[in-house]
Chain A
């Protein structure tokens, strides 16, 4: 299928026989906890990220349970504040920002560019330990007393008034940011200098482009939120006034600095998923991604423009109207590169030989959900409309469509697509397909009613709505959807784990996909390739002749 020329690694070694792969190369706990292998670190991340996802999901369940009744009598206001803060902080800082880059990016970036590892393996391990420390601190702060400032930690409430565990949680978030920075710097250095011979910039898979753009955002944005949150820690623990309004400090400045990172952070969450979707759509349409260069550069454009739109979170603050107009315009502009991606994916599918395997169904679901999330973002970018919708469930629905519909669907698509590569085992694709549809339906049932409730004026962060019982129907629909969605997230855990024990051997390339990662064994050896790859063919080079061969080979593979 490919015309890759290879040279053996090592001096005069014989042709490779059966060798250790990265999973069998050492079985002790130490060989996992002190590993410098990017693939093992990715697995460590996968386990910890899944744990925090389930935990954040449990908090989401509590929120949905409370909201089934307008009276709000399961939890008191104070407990409810702590629950939604825990849900937001855990999901944003410990799942969404980390999942795709740290699990799939870690595993795949070196494989896709033909490197033996990331540029800085030890720093990569450090990033996992920082993440673990961050997770522990956030978890402790949420369990022992809780945090009630919301995941945005707005001052002066977080700095002066909140009596909850804000400082401890902020230290956790700070460490998480450090972990994110190390990952980003690692990706940037790796993509710049570790590409195999022949792997030019425009032969890079779009997944790598997306990780590179994400790395840039991590490098430029994360330190800003780190210093902002550090200032709040300064205020709370060292009494250093930074944002204190009673001394003439500016609490809105906190919001400016916070959103300078936290808006681009949305792109840290979805850009890597965009990368996944590009790979999946191409592989299951058996075509080169339409407008490869546009998709690659749209990632960079999103990374760049993402830094210029933070003010759209602040249309109802003291920010001047003229600032608002500028931020509104740039926000509309930002829709262009996102739309380019959606257009190009649909154009890739057009006249393609489409295979509806589970990753593809997740990817198509992603496109639908992200489209709704993105378009409702335009409602909110319009200043007048935003004043009406600010702090309502419309916002909640919008960012869940982008962040859950984008990141989680992308993560699941990628996890299913590369699971055979990561584990060497095939999972039950039939169950997975049905599950993808369950997730899609459950997701829409959960969050679409929230658009309607929000449009009607249901405020976010309230734990009751006895003043407007007509919202109850939407909340009950949403809670029903959340139940379906929860089941949809548990089932993959079961069949994916089951595949480890009973799954058939995957072979090197079970999907017949193009790309360097599919040319090594599944699971790959510790050094990734038995031969140092030299790349001579184009990215996504699904040419008709090779296609014919690949499909025939796949048929042959399936017989044994």
Chain B
């Protein structure tokens, strides 16, 4: 290899200096964010189309979701994003202990989020709201929604929140590795705050997806079709 980038320097051999490396990392991460937006965008498109078609039934079906649990989770993720931002600042200031503390708290928030999701999912499954042959026909649970359209609603509910949950878990894993790197005093993270910032960026993205999912699923306004008794 060339004389560039010996083993303990944070600059990899293909880069001239740390600035070029960081610029490239930032572009790479934002490009990846674009792919994630397009990825979730597909589901949001399906959601928009079906909600437009079945406004009344979807509103009735959504009544069964617990906006309080969803709200707690929203607050929880917002706090975790703030902690993440503070962790990035601590990384800039090279305050290792503070970074590790804050990142651990972020992971804990992620764990709390998944725990609440678990409670919510269990409740739905007990009520036979998981789509399929055993889907409930109980009008009280469905709040009078059309059975088929309610299944579409819950299909997307489990699909979208489930995919988001997978992203939360992946985020928690990545952040755990980041904590490990800080703990081991790896120069990749201690000498250069950009890796911490970019992982933070991913976490903020996961948070933002939830910021959209929460109102779309839990906080629907009553549509005209229901008001007018259509």
A residues contacting B by CB (< 8 A) are: 9-11, 13, 110, 115-121, 181, 184-186, 188-190, 192-194, 219-224, 226-228, 230-231, 234, 238-242, 244, 246-250, 253, 257, 526-527
Contact = CB atoms under 8 A, between A and B. Distances in A.
A248 B53 contact: yes
Interface string B1-29: 11110000000111100001001100110
23 contacts: A9-B3, A11-B3, A116-B13, A184-B31, A185-B32, A189-B27, A189-B31, A190-B24, A192-B27, A193-B24, A220-B34, A223-B39, A224-B38, A224-B41, A226-B39, A227-B38, A239-B130, A240-B158, A240-B159, A242-B156, A244-B152, A249-B50, A250-B50
A257 B152 contact: no
Closest 8 A/B residue pairs (Cβ): A227-B42, A10-B3, A223-B39, A239-B132, A117-B14, A223-B38, A247-B148, A189-B28
The winner among A181, A231, A247 for most chain B CB atoms within 10 A is: A247
Given A234-B159, A247-B149, A189 B24 contact: yes
Interface in B183-216: none
A121 B1 CA distance: 14
B67 interface: no
B2 A193 contact: no
B27 A241 contact: no
Given A242-B159, A526-B1, 18 more contacts: A9-B2, A10-B4, A11-B3, A115-B14, A117-B14, A185-B35, A188-B27, A188-B28, A194-B15, A194-B24, A219-B31, A220-B35, A223-B42, A224-B42, A227-B42, A234-B159, A248-B50, A248-B152
Interface of B: 1-4, 12-15, 20, 23-24, 27-28, 31-32, 34-36, 38-43, 45-46, 49-50, 53-54, 130-132, 146, 148-149, 151-152, 155-156, 158-159, 163
Contact of B13 (A222, A223, A527): A527
Contacts of A226: 39
Contacts of B2: 9-10, 116, 527
B148 A246 contact: yes
B39 A242 contact: no
Q: Could you tell me the dominant secondary structure of chain B's interface residues? A: helix
Nearest to A9: B2
Contacts of A192: 24, 27
Given A247-B148, A247-B152, A248-B149, A253 B159 contact: no
Nearest to B24: A193
Contacts of A219: 31, 34-35, 38
Contact of A117 (B13, B20, B42, B155): B13
B49 A250 contact: yes
Contacts of B152: 241-242, 244, 247-249
A189 B131 CA distance: 42
A11 B3 CA distance: 7
Contacts of B32: 181, 185
Contacts of B34: 219-220
Contacts of A220: 34-35, 38
Nearest to B38: A223
Contact of A242 (B1, B36, B53, B155): B155
Given A9-B4, A119-B24, A194-B14, A242 B46 contact: yes
Contact of B28 (A120, A222, A234, A253): A120
The winner among B27, B32, B35 for most chain A CB atoms within 10 A is: B35
A223 B35 CA distance: 6
B2 to A, nearest CB: 5
Given A9-B4, A185-B35, A222-B35, A193 B151 contact: no
B3 A223 contact: no
A450 to B, nearest CB: 34
A121 B14 CA distance: 9
Contacts of B12: 121
A253 B1 contact: no
A221 B53 CA distance: 26
A247 B61 CA distance: 14
Contacts of A250: 49-50
Contacts of B4: 9-10, 116
B20 to A, nearest CB: 6
